[in-house]
Structure 1
C-alpha cells in the first residue's frame, strides 16, 4: 500500500455539519412528507409546520450552495418567480398595500415552492410519499366528514369554508391516484381511493367539482377497459354478490345522510338556471350574484385592460355598480368567483398573461415528461382547477394555493430526480 493510501485511511475526510444533519434526516423526511399531506385537508396545523420545515430546509441548502440546487426545475422556478414578481410590482404600483396584501402575497406561494425541490432532497420518490399521505388523508377526511354530519352541520367544511374543503379534498383525491412503488398492503395502488372523496365532497354541498368524478371515471374506463373486463371475468358469483352488496350499502348510507342536501342543491341549480333563462322573479340566486359580479369585473377590465386597478379598489367599484336595493347582499364578497376575471380586474392583461403562462408551462412540463398514469392524473387535476375556479375563488385560499403547489412540485421533483440520477441527490 502506498503512503498516500495509508494517509487517506488513517485520516478520513471530515464530514461537514450540513452533511451530518442530512444523514440523520434521510429516514425521517419521507415520513414527514406523508404526514404533511395526510394532515392537509383536516387543518391540524401540523401540515403547515412541516411545510415550513421543508421550505426552510430548502432555502438553507440553496443559500449555502449545496449540490441539491440541481434538483430545482428551472422552468417551474422561472415561471413562478416571474408571476410572483409581476404580482408584487403591480401591487406596489396600485398602492393600498395593506388592503391588497392578500392578493399580492398569494401568488408568491408558487415561488415559495422553489425551495421545496431542495427541501425534498432526502426523499428518493417524493410522489410516492405524497400519494401514501394522500390516501391516509382521505380516510381522515371521510371520518371527519361523517363526524361533522352527525353533529348536525348541513354543509361540512372540515373546520373551515365548505367550498375550499371540497377543493382541497379533490386535490388530495388526485394525489392518492398516483402510483406508489412498494406500497403498503393497507394503502394499495388503486384508483378507488379517488372515488372515496365523493362522500365528503357531496357533504360540502359544492356542486362545481362533482363533474370531475364523472370525468375521472371516463378516463379510467378508457385506460383500464381491458383490465376491467379481465378482472370481471375472474370474479366468482359469490364475490360479485359481496361486491354488489358492499357498493349498495355505501350508496344507501351516503344517500341517507346527504339526500336532503342533494335535493336542496339540485333545486337551487334548477332555480338558478330558470332565473337566467326566464325573467327573474325578484329572488336573487347564487348564480345571479355571480353573473352580476362577472359583469362588473368585465367592466373594470374594459376600462383598465393593462394593469387593472387592484383587488380592493375593483371590488369597491363593482359593488357601486350594483343596484342600491341589492347592495347589502354583496357586502361580504371579496372576489367575483371566477379566477380569470379576478386576475383581470386586479392585475389586468399583464397579470393574466403571467398567470396563464405559469400554469401552461408547468402543466406542459409535468405531462410531457411523465408516464401515462401521471399524465391522466394531471389532466384530471387540470379539470379540478378549471371546474372549481370557474365558480369559486380558487387562488384566494392559503391551503388552495399550497395544495396546487404541492401537486406541481411533487410531480416535477420526482421527474428531476429521475433525470439527474443518484449522483445529484447523493448527500
Structure 2
C-alpha cells in the first residue's frame, strides 16, 4: 500500500491542515519555493475534495469581496491578451494566476482549522523561520560573500517573506496568544538581522513601518508607560541591529549614492537605480499608448526589451517594470491596475472593520496578519515585484487567507454544519 495513502488515512482533515500550515509559514524564508509547491498542490487537492463533496465551500462576506477583487485582476489580464490578440503567446505566462485563483478554494479548506490553533501555528512556525533565515543569511553573507537570499534564491523575495515572519513573531508576542513572548521577540530580532543581510533597502523601510503598526494595533493591551517602554526598547534593538549590520547598510547606501550621481551627472542607466528609472519611463510611456486594456504580458516584455535597446542602448530584459502597479497598468491597463489596487484596499478594509468592532485577540491577530502583508508587499512592490513571483504570490495568498479567516471568518466542519465556536482563551485542540 502507498505509505502516503496509509498516512492520510490515519490523519484527520484538521491534523493535515496543521502540518500544511506549518509548511506554509515556515518554508518561505528557509525553503523558498516549497511554499509554492505546497500551496498550489494543497489548492488542487482542495478543489478535488470540494468537487467530490468531501469539503464544503465556506463563503464569508470578507472572503467573497477579496475573491471578487482577485478574480477581477485575473480577468483583466486575460482580457488584455484577448484585446491585443496575444492570448496564445500569453497562455504559459498565465500559469502564476492559478495561485491567485485558488484563493476561495484554499480558504474553504483552511477554515476547518480551529482559529487559536492556526494562530499559534503561524506564530511558532514563523519564529522557526526567523531563526533559520538568520543562520542561512550569515552563511551566505559572511562565508559565501553574497547578499543573503535564503532559500528563495532572490534577495528581495527573501527579505519580503522574512519581514512577514518577523511581524508575525512581533504580533504574537504582543497579542498574548503565545505565552513564550521572549522567544518570539528573539525570533523577531533574528529575522530582522536576516533582512539586514539581504541588503534589500525597501524592505528595510517596510520593517519599521510594519513594526510601528503592530505596536499601535496592540497598544490597548498596555499602559502608556508600557507602550513608551516598548518604543524605547524597539529603538535600542534597532540601533544594535544597525550596528551589527553597519557594513551592509553602509555598502548599500554607498551604492545608492553612487548610482544617483551616475544617473544625474552622466545619464548612466546601467546601474540598479538607472535601470529602474529607465523601466519606469518606458512603463509610463507604454501605459499612455494603451491606457484601458494594456499591452498584454508578453507584448509588455517585448516593449521593455526593445525600449532598452532603442532609448538607452542597453541589452536588457526583465519580466516586470520594478513597480507592481506600473507593471499591471502596462500589462492590463487601468482595468488591471485598479483591480490589483482593489485587492489591497479590500484587505485593509476587512482588517480595519475587525479592529473596529471586535475585541477578540485572535481576530485582532488575524487583522494584523493582513495589514503587515499589505504594508510589506506595497512597500517592496514600489521598486520591485508585487504579483507574478511564485514564492511571493503563494505567501501573499497564505497571509490573506489565514488573516481574513482569523479576523472575520467562521470555522466550519469538513462537511455538514458549521463547527461550534471556540470561546476566546480556550485551549486549542489539535
Same fold per TM (> 0.5)?
yes
- Contact residue 134 and residue 176 of structure 1 kept, 8 A: yes
SS in structure 2 of the partner of residue 39 of structure 1: helix
Alignment partner, residue 343 of structure 2: 358
Alignment correspondent of 1:119: 109
Distance 1:354 1:274, change over 3 A: same
CA distances 1:185-204 after superposition (whole Å, capped 9, x unpaired)? 65768566444322111111
Task: Give the SS at the match of 1:424.
Answer: coil
Q: Does 1:161 align with 2:154?
A: yes
1:204 aligns with 2:198: yes
Q: Is the 8 A contact 1:87 1:107 kept in 2?
A: no
Cα shift readout 1:86-143 (whole Å, capped 9, x = no counterpart): 3233334434456534643333322212111222243112333223222211111111
Distance 1:387 1:316 in 2: 27
Unaligned runs of 5+ in 2: 1-7, 359-363, 421-430
Q: Secondary structure at the match of 2:203?
A: coil
- 2:360 is aligned with 1:345: no
Pairwise CA distance, 1:217: 4.2
Deviation at 1:282, TM superposition (A): 4.5
CA offsets, 1:285-324, max 9 Å, x none?
3222211111111111111111111233223333433465
Q: Which moved more, 1:95-104 or 1:161-170?
A: 95-104
Q: Which residue of structure 2 aligns with residue 12 of structure 1? A: none
**Equivalent-residue separation in structure 1 for 2:188 and 2:342 (angstroms):** 29
Match of 1:88 among 75, 78, 90: 78
> Is residue 387 from structure 1 mapped to residue 379 from structure 2 by the alignment?
yes
Residue aligning to 1:229: 225
Larger Cα-atom Rg: 1
2:249 paired with 1:262: yes
Aligned with residue 215 of structure 1, among 206, 209, 231: 209
Instruction: State TM-score, norm by structure 1.
Output: 0.78
**Post-superposition shift, 1:417?**
4.3
RMSD value, Cα:
3.7
- Equivalent of 1:26, from 14, 38, 46? 14
> 1:338 and 1:184, CA in 2 relative to 1: closer, same or farther beyond 3 A?
closer
**CA deviation after TM superposition for structure 1 residue 68, in Å:** 3.1
* Unaligned 5+ runs, structure 1: 1-19, 234-239
Q: Distance in 2 between matches of 1:386 and 1:115?
A: 25
Cα deviation, 1:193-231, whole Å, max 9, x if unaligned, reads 444322111111110111122223433555549547349
Is the 8 Å Cα contact of residues 340 and 352 (structure 1) preserved in structure 2? Answer: yes
Paired with 1:303 and 1:53, the residues of 2 have a C-alpha distance of: 39
Q: What TM-score, normalized to structure 2? A: 0.78
